[in-house]
A and B are shown apart, each in its own frame.
Chain A
C-alpha cells in the first residue's frame, strides 16, 4: 500500500509558532472557523498566496484600512474563488517560465465557506478541479450562511433550525440531508481530498501540509463550529468538533489518489444526541427525528468504512 502513495511529508506533532492570520480580527467569541483558518495558515506557511471568498472570514479580517493577514491575500467576490486561484496559479506558472518570478514553491490556496463552495461557488470549484490547477482549496464548513444571518445552505444538516429553514409547527427545520462535498470533490479524480477539524489540530495541519505536496488540485473540507449560528456555548467549540467526529457525524478521512483512509475511527460511535443536545439549532428535535438522524449517520459511516475496506482489498 505504501508504494502506491506519494512520499509522505514530515508529520507535525507541534503546532508551528508563526502566526499568519493574526489576532485583532472581528471573529465572534469561540469561532471555530477563525481557529481553523489560523491553523491552516500555520500549516501553509509564509510562501503562499491566498484567494478568499466573500464570507465571515473575509469580513472579520479585512475591514479597510486594517488586515489580519500576514501573507499575500486577495478577496474579490463570493462565488469565484476557485477561478481566481486558477488565475493566480497560471499567472505564477507563466511568469516563472518567462523568468519573471523565481520562487518555485509558492503555494496557491483558496478559502471559502460552505455557501461559497457548495452552493454559489460550486461551478467555479468544479471547473478548477477538473482543469487540474495545482492549488489547495479549503472549505470552512459552518453549515449555513452565518455572515448574512444564519440562512440554510446545502450543507446545513437535516433538522437544523436556521433563519430560512426555521423549525415551526409544520417543519422540523432543514428538511434535506447535508450535501456531501468531499464526495463531489473525489468525483473529479483529484490527487487529494480530506476532511479535517480544528478540534484535531495535528491531523488538520498534517493534511494541509500533505495537500500542498500534491501536483494537482487538493480539496480540504474543514469542520467549523459556529457558536453564534449553532446557538452553542462558545467554550464548547472544540468539544463540539470532537463530538462530531466521535458520533460519526463528521468523520475524519482522506482520499489520496483515490484510496480511502479513515484517520480517526472510533471503536463505537457515540450517540448523536450527545452532539445535538448542546446546540440550540437542534433543540426542537423529537427523539424520533434524532433516531432518524442517527440511522443515517451510522449508515454513512458504514459506507465510508466499506469504501476504505474495498481499497484495502484492492491494494492487497
Chain B
C-alpha cells in the first residue's frame, strides 16, 4: 500500500483517471475543475498516461465526444463544473439512455447570474433527473477512492450507466489533503478491462439512438428507471469490496454520533466535516445531536435513509441550492417526499446556506440546529430559511 501524501485533490482525481486506464478524456476548461484535466493533459503529454485527450471547443462537445468514444467501447472520463454542466445538460440524458459507462467528476459551482465561480450545488441539482448514478464526496481521499469505484460501478455489465461524482468546488478541488493513492497493480485487479456488449463495430453493425414514438417511449423510460434503481446493489457491493481490499469503507448514507440523537442534521459534500465539528461542540454542551451525510444521491437510498432516522424527532436539512419560488431546497424536498408515507417520521426543516462559495462555519450549523428547534416550537415552518443572509 502506498504512503499517505499531501496532494491537491484535483491532482489526485487526475491520478485516479490514470490508474483506471482511462482511454479517452474530452474536456473543456472551466473553474474550479481545470486542475483535474490540466493534470491529465500533463500526464498524456509526458507519456505517463496512454490516452487520447480531446480538447473540445465546449462542454456540450465534451460530453458529445464522450458519447462517441464510449460508443466504440473506450473507457471515457471527463470533468466539468457549473455552467459547463448546464451546457452539457441535454447530452447527459443521451449518455444514460444509451447506457454509456462514462465517468465524470463535477467540481460543484454556483450558476450565473450573477457570475460566481465558487462552490454550491445548483449545477448538479439541475441534473438530478438525467439518469446518471450520482455521488457526493466529503474529502479528498473519498474523491480519489470513489472515482476508482465509479469506473467499476459504471462498467458493471448489469449496470452500464454513466456515473457522476460531485465534489465541492474550491473547498475540495483546490485544497491539499493527505491522500493515500493505490498501487497500479491493485487498481488493475479492482477494475477489470471494459467490455462493452454492443460497441459500434463494422463487423457487427448496430443502430444506436433510434428515435422512439409514443408507442415505445414510455417503455424506454421504465427500463432506464429500473436500471438506475437496481444499480444500488452493485454500488453497495463495489463499495464493500473496495473496503475489503483497501480498508476504507463507504455507504450510501453515513451517520455521525446519531445513536441517541434526537436532532439530526443532514448534509451532502464537504460541509459534512464542518457539521461534525458543530455536532461535537453541541454534544459537549449536552445536546443530543447527530449528523447524516448523504453520499448516494441517485439512485436515492430511501431505505438506508429511513433506518438512520428511526429514533430522531427532528431532521434539519442543509441545501446548497435554492429552488427559486419553490418549496425551498431540492434535497429537503426529496427528504420530505421520502418520509411522506412513513408512520413515524421526524419533523423536517430545510435550510439554505453555503451558496456561491459562502462559508458555512460550525457556528452556522449550531445556529441551524437552534433555529430549527425554534421553528418547530413556534410552528412557523413554511418560510424558506436562509443561513447568514444579509437582510
Where the two chains meet, the residues of A that have a C-beta atom closer than 8 Å to any C-beta of B are: 46-49, 51, 58-59, 62-67, 69-77, 79-80, 82-95, 97-98, 100-101, 103, 106, 123-124, 126-128, 130-131
Contacts and interface: CB of A to CB of B under 8 A. Distances in A.
B51 A85 contact: no
Contacts of B189: none
A64 B202 CA distance: 21
A58 B208 CA distance: 11
B98 interface: yes
Contacts of B115: none
Contact of A127 (B61, B69, B76): B61
B216 interface: yes
Contacts of B334: none
Interface centre among B54, B64, B209 (most CB of A within 10 A): B64
A72 B68 contact: no
Given A76-B209, A103-B202, 5 more contacts: A70-B205, A73-B208, A75-B211, A83-B26, A131-B56
B207 A69 contact: yes
A88 B57 contact: no
A87 B64 contact: yes
Interface in B85-109: 90-91, 94, 98
22 contacts: A46-B202, A59-B211, A62-B210, A63-B211, A64-B216, A74-B67, A76-B209, A77-B64, A80-B60, A83-B56, A87-B54, A87-B71, A91-B24, A91-B73, A91-B74, A94-B51, A95-B23, A95-B74, A103-B202, A123-B61, A124-B58, A128-B61
Nearest to A69: B207
B7 interface: no
Nearest to B219: A64
B20 interface: no
Contacts, number: 174
A124 B209 contact: no
Contacts of A100: 73, 193
B68 A84 contact: yes
Contacts of B52: 90-91, 93-94
Central interface residue in B55, B200, B220, by most chain A CB within 10 Å: B200
A124 to B, nearest CB: 5
A106 B55 CA distance: 23
Interface of B: 23-24, 26, 50-52, 54-58, 60-62, 64-74, 76, 90-91, 94, 98, 193, 200-213, 216, 220
Contacts of B24: 87, 90-91, 94
B58 A88 contact: no
A87 B60 contact: no
A132 to B, nearest CB: 11
Contact of B60 (A48, A70, A83): A83
Contacts of B206: 72-73
A120 to B, nearest CB: 10
B76 to A, nearest CB: 8
Given A87-B24, A127-B61, A74 B54 contact: no
A64 B68 contact: no
A59 B134 CA distance: 32
A95 B73 CA distance: 8
B304 to A, nearest CB: 34
Contacts of B54: 86-87, 90, 131
Contacts of A66: 210
Closest 5 CB pairs of A and B: A87-B68, A127-B57, A91-B69, A80-B64, A87-B65
A62 B61 contact: no
A83 B202 CA distance: 20
B23 A91 contact: yes
B216 to A, nearest CB: 5
A222 B125 CA distance: 43
Contact of B205 (A72, A76, A92, A131): A72
A131 B74 CA distance: 20
Contacts of B72: 49, 87-88, 91-92, 95, 101
